[in-house]
Amino acid sequence: MRHASDIALIAVDVQPDFMPGGALACHEGDAVVAPIAALLAARRYRTVVATQDWHPPGHASFASSHPDRAPFETIELHGAPQVLWPDHCIQGSAGAQLDPRIDWSPADLILRKGSDPQVDSYSGFRENHGPGGARPSTGLAGWLRERGIAEVHVCGLARDYCVLWTAQDAAAAGFRARVLWPLTRPVTPEGDVPTRAALAAAGIAIDGD
């Protein structure tokens, strides 16, 4: 059954570097591949967006860019907390490609994010805090509105970071938002409780409960 034409699917960062064995493996990250592939193949959504982490080498969010810092430590960057990550999703690398086990041809837009060397980007809608504290728009909200979209369903990786921030920013931009929980996985399962609380606080529905 197709969804209403004003509902879009956003598949967040389904990339090899977030799969088991990847540079920044999510817990059971590969479990989302088959169901997302099936969802796209069924063409239930008239509008499909895929986001793609796309970092230049030496990105400011990489622990390797900060002497004496280790992956998963948190620093302050541009006045906001920033987790330092292992080098991942380097532009043009195999780990940065959209997962080849999925046929991405139904995607209407592939939105690359995180390409500013000094600013991280979890959300598909806005960059993280940059110089001056602003969170620049990616333009996704306007693109969706021009297509008549009122509601977004979010799946992909990782549910406690990029999925969460994308859903929160969608709600803040005025879209109804729903997270397809079984089609997401976290960096670590310990993030699930605060993630659920943050989604509930933003009025975001959770499928799969």
- Residue 129: the pLDDT is 86
Contact 130, 155 (CB under 8 A): no
Q: Which residue among the candidates 87, 113, 160, 169 is catalytic per the annotation? A: 113
- Rounded to the nearest integer, the mean pLDDT of the chain is 95
Q: CA-to-CA distance for 124 and 40, rounded, in angstroms?
A: 19
Q: Which domain holds residue 147?
A: 7-56+96-207
Report yes or no on 187 lying in a domain. yes
Report yes or no on 70 lying in a domain. no
Q: Which band of pLDDT confidence, cut at 50, 70 and 90, is reported for residue 209?
A: low
Instruction: For residues 181-194, give the mean pLDDT.
Output: 95
Q: Which residues contact 110 (CB under 8 A, 6 or more apart)?
A: 49, 50, 51, 52, 98, 104
The predicted-structure confidence for 91-150, as pLDDT tens digits, reads as follows 999 999 999 999 999 999 999 999 999 999 999 999 998 887 789 899 999 999 999 999
Tokens of 191: 């993030």
Report yes or no on 68 lying in a domain. no
Instruction: For residues 5-30, give the mean pLDDT.
Output: 97
Q: Which residue among the candidates 13, 17, 120, 160 is catalytic per the annotation? A: 13
- Residue 208: the pLDDT is 83
Q: Looking at the 3D structure of the chain, how many domains does it have?
A: 1
**Portion of the chain with pLDDT greater than 70, in percent:** 99
Residue 162 among the catalytic residues = yes
Report yes or no on 77 lying in a domain. no
Contact 173, 126 (CB under 8 A): no
Report yes or no on 29 lying in a domain. yes
Residue 113 among the catalytic residues = yes
Report yes or no on 113 lying in a domain. yes
State the CATH number of the domain containing residue 129.
Answer: 3.40.50.850
Q: CA-to-CA distance for 128 and 176, rounded, in angstroms?
A: 22
Indicate the length of the chain as a whole number. 209
Q: Which band of pLDDT confidence, cut at 50, 70 and 90, is reported for residue 1?
A: low
Q: Which band of pLDDT confidence, cut at 50, 70 and 90, is reported for residue 188?
A: very high
Residue 207 among the catalytic residues = no
Q: Which residue among the candidates 26, 120, 162, 169 is catalytic per the annotation? A: 162
Contact 50, 9 (CB under 8 A): no
- Residue 3: the pLDDT is 81
- Long-range interactions of 21-24: CB distance < 8 A, separation 24+: 22/88, 22/95, 23/86, 23/87, 23/88, 23/89, 23/95, 24/85, 24/86, 24/88, 24/89, 24/187
pTM above 0.75, yes or no: yes
Instruction: Say if residue 22's pLDDT is above 90.
Output: yes
Match 């980007």 to its residue by tokens.
121
Report yes or no on 73 lying in a domain. no
- Position with higher pLDDT, 2 vs 33: 33
- Residue 37: the pLDDT is 98
